[in-house]
């Protein structure tokens, strides 16, 4: 493989490993959330109702556990690739650059840092003179963030179901806060939530699933979003919509 080919290969591995690592970070966070939620349920309901909701909660626990147990990255392959670069006669400038990049990569992986995803890849693309688009970063991010987003949906559905019970508003607010913190973990994928609530309907990044009478949402303007049924997400650096938000608007 040529020097440029090796650098492109390195970039592809970095992208995948960073996202695999992001999945692990996210999964760990989601698991940590389960305990406080279970406690909230235990204190919020009495006897039979408590058992009903704790049973229902097991669905969530099971689905979080289903999140891929992704193997850690293999540092050996990087060491081997850098060796190959030397053998292929890569310049000192390139070798220095790749070693600096690799140190940053190791820092992110070992310290679970929230670091930019595109920047180092763009630097490598420019160094190796390959088209950044060839990495198909959006598709790779989509593939890796799919399951975490699905888990967020399930937390939302659970929270939505709870809202119809006698649970205290303050407890529900705590749950909402926990979900918001889980969503923030998507930043490891370079993925952020679309801000759509109370915004005017826009099919560019929202999918309407219906409209409700204004009497049910008197504070929201006509054709504006009164309820987010499924959150939408986008990739921050490119503004590409990863998934449109599914919303309900006011008639």
Q: H or E segment at 21?
A: helix 3-44
Q: Is 208 in the site for other proteins (CB under 8 A)?
A: yes
- CA of 177: how far to CAs of 106, 131, 162, in Å? 31, 40, 15
Site for other proteins contains 52 (CB under 8 A): yes
* Alpha carbon distance 36, 48 (integer Å): 20
Specify whether the CB–CB gap between 63 and 153 falls below 8 A: no
Q: Is residue 201 near other proteins by the rule CB under 8 A?
A: yes
* 143 lines the binding site for other proteins (CB under 8 A): no
Helix (H), strand (E) at residue 206: strand 206-212
- As a whole number of angstroms, the distance between CA 81 and CA 101 comes to 13
The nearest distance, CB 165 to other proteins, in angstroms, is 7
Decide the pairing of beta strands 233-235 and 191-193. antiparallel
State in angstroms the smallest separation of the CB of 77 from other proteins: 31
133 binds other proteins (CB under 8 A): no
216 binds other proteins (CB under 8 A): yes
Contacting residue, 4, 9, 84, 154, with other proteins by CB under 8 A: 154
Residue 70 lies near other proteins (rule: CB under 8 A) = no
Instruction: Using CB under 8 A, list all residues that contact other proteins.
Output: 49, 52-53, 56, 59-60, 63, 154, 157-158, 160-162, 164-165, 200-204, 206-212, 216, 223, 227, 229, 244, 246, 248-249
């Amino acid at each position: 493989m040529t020097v440029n080919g090796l650098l492109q290969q390195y970039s592809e591995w970095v992208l995948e490993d960073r996202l695999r690592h992001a999945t692990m970070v996210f999964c760990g966070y989601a698991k940590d959330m389960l305990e406080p939620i279970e406690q909230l349920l235990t204190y919020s309901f009495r006897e039979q109702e408590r058992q009903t909701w704790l049973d229902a909660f097991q669905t969530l626990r099971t689905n979080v556990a289903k999140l891929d147990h992704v193997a850690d990255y293999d540092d050996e392959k990087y060491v081997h690739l850098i060796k190959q670069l030397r053998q292929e006669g890569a310049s000192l400038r390139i070798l220095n650059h790749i070693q600096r990049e690799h140190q940053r990569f190791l820092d992110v992986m070992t310290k679970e840092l929230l670091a930019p995803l595109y920047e180092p890849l763009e630097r490598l693309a420019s160094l190796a003179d390959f088209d950044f688009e060839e990495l198909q970063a959006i598709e790779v991010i989509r593939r890796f963030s799919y399951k975490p987003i699905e888990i967020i949906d399930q937390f939302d559905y659970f929270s939505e179901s709870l809202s119809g019970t006698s649970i205290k508003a303050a407890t529900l607010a705590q749950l909402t806060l926990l979900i918001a913190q889980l969503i923030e973990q998507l930043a490891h994928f370079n993925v952020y939530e679309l801000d759509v609530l109370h915004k005017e309907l826009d099919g560019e990044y929202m999918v309407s699933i219906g409209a409700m009478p204004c009497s049910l949402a008197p504070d929201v303007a006509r054709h504006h979003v009164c309820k987010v049924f499924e959150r939408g997400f986008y990739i921050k650096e490119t503004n590409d919509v990863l998934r449109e938000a599914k919303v309900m608007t006011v008639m």
